[in-house]
Structure 1
């Protein structure tokens, strides 16, 4: 967890990615959030796609979906503020049913979560009787409840192979399923959901970047189309991307994912030159310092999960965490 520094002291962390004049506009909100966290006994969980003033300024726990799910089980606080999208807040609530979970903007959704329903899963089960359902965490609690086990982009292959079966329904991200299918002998039956951020990248983008920046290292998220992943130097979850940069220290690198990811990784690796042909996630960008502050001031917007589905959804997530 971050030490309780002042907003001015925190600036040293982000000085080479946020201009001082811009940071000054954040300081009132940051100071208020730091105070409110102490008063409310609250922690802020922030996804890697959050902007640097949130990720490096006020967050206590940061990471990809898998890391946030794991760390949510260890939180020692009365209140969790999820700086991310709604399915992440639901997951935090599933794993902390006695705690208050807030999301600063209820409109922070996800195209993948919107692409599938429990009824869709029921139809898939009818078409493929006896085949287990592995559901990406980028889904609603209701969809998780209709599944056998969840996965993230960081552990999808491990989860699929842990089931010990020849065939798996892997939902809802078609591209993630197709990319993982190339790494395993398990037959993966995909849904047609796509991430609206990652589906925009093309193989032509990769070739143009290599031409424009000779020697550049290109890292793609596995939600990108398979032809993009095939032309990249490495593919992995946001945590995997960050680790790859830290371990290999490329002179120049491109992260084919959401825009703020490059800024956040650059904070920890000022010696790496980041090329930024990124795509913004409109849902992640609904979370701001201002509405984090408002969430803590007014204890708004509390995330709940229908008790009728909570146990089954929690089981699917907890089963993933045991793999």
Structure 2
């Protein structure tokens, strides 16, 4: 079996990482490749990872839904989740017998931090009998208080699958508002928001169009509804990739986290990507050095208490059942 090296992987990032910069990364890349073999480990990387992680050392990439699906089928003893803490918890929920590591324990999420299990119980008490749909960008403890989870990619399908006139959708108020407009279902919201996407404004989109005539604008549904209204298309990160692949717009702007554009641009070097993006400080805590250290020391391990895990897992599995339905 051929053993890959950093030199072999460079061809996957030539359009977005200069060779002189890649040379500074090669030692970490080679070490990570070796450690993955020694530990029987795989790296799951979110679409917001930087290209050297996303295209370089990762084994499985995608949005939250794709990572959740793929985590179930991982054939490895160790999973390194290059993303944020709630993603690592989800991987652990679906792989209770595997060791799940996160490169930096500080990799949090403004959405996950915006809501607590007590908040969910209070919402249930205020709205008896109304099902709780919880975005995966939440802690396992919050998922455990929920009926079903969703991602930005399958939220509409999840809500429509319930067949009810009202739902509680937490914690992202903008995603909830955008989904409500597509479903006709009354959505009770919680005042959470993504610190990356809430900063985009309609004026940002108008300026992009003024500066780049003919551009196609794709927005993430965590953006405010008025931003989504200014875009040509709104969808999850995976749906954005599918749009670019199918439509091949010559000039495109992805209104989401910065590294998303870099990763898609590598795959489509013939297209022009305009980058009016915001950085996620939590995602950027994932570095080659941090991944290498995690595999060398087998830290930081993510665990979920059994009483929480059983209930949270059920909410995630219900989501996956809906998300994979034909």
TM category (shorter chain) comes to over 0.9
**How far apart in 2 are the matches of 1:91 and 1:158?**
20
State the match for 1:204 in structure 2: 203
State the match for 1:174 in structure 2: 173
State the match for 1:239 in structure 2: 238
Deviations 1:212-243 (A, max 9, x none): 10000000000000000011000000000111
Deviations 1:261-311 (A, max 9, x none): 000001110011000110000000000000100000000000000112110
Is residue 119 from structure 1 mapped to residue 118 from structure 2 by the alignment? Answer: yes
Greater than 3 Å deviation, 4+ residue runs: none
Aligned residues, how many?
321
> What SS class does the counterpart of residue 271 from structure 1 fall into?
coil
Is residue 227 from structure 1 mapped to residue 226 from structure 2 by the alignment? Answer: yes
State the match for 1:109 in structure 2: 108
Is residue 264 from structure 1 mapped to residue 291 from structure 2 by the alignment? Answer: no
Measured on the aligned residues, the alpha-carbon RMSD in Å equals 0.7
Is residue 146 from structure 1 mapped to residue 145 from structure 2 by the alignment? Answer: yes
Deviations 1:152-186 (A, max 9, x none): 00000000010111100000000000001110121
TM-score (norm 1): 0.99
**How far apart in 2 are the matches of 1:207 and 1:185?**
28
State the match for 2:77 in structure 1: 78
> What SS class does the counterpart of residue 56 from structure 1 fall into?
helix
**How far apart in 2 are the matches of 1:92 and 1:243?**
24
User: Which residues of structure 1 form unaligned runs of 5+?
Assistant: none
**How far apart in 2 are the matches of 1:190 and 1:13?**
41
User: Which residues of structure 2 form unaligned runs of 5+?
Assistant: none
State the match for 2:54 in structure 1: 55
State the match for 2:212 in structure 1: 213
State the match for 1:302 in structure 2: 301
Deviations 1:123-143 (A, max 9, x none): 101110000000000000000
State the match for 2:90 in structure 1: 91
TM-score (norm 2): 0.98
**How far apart in 1 are the matches of 2:154 and 2:310?**
22
1:131-142 aligned within 5 A: 131-142=130-141
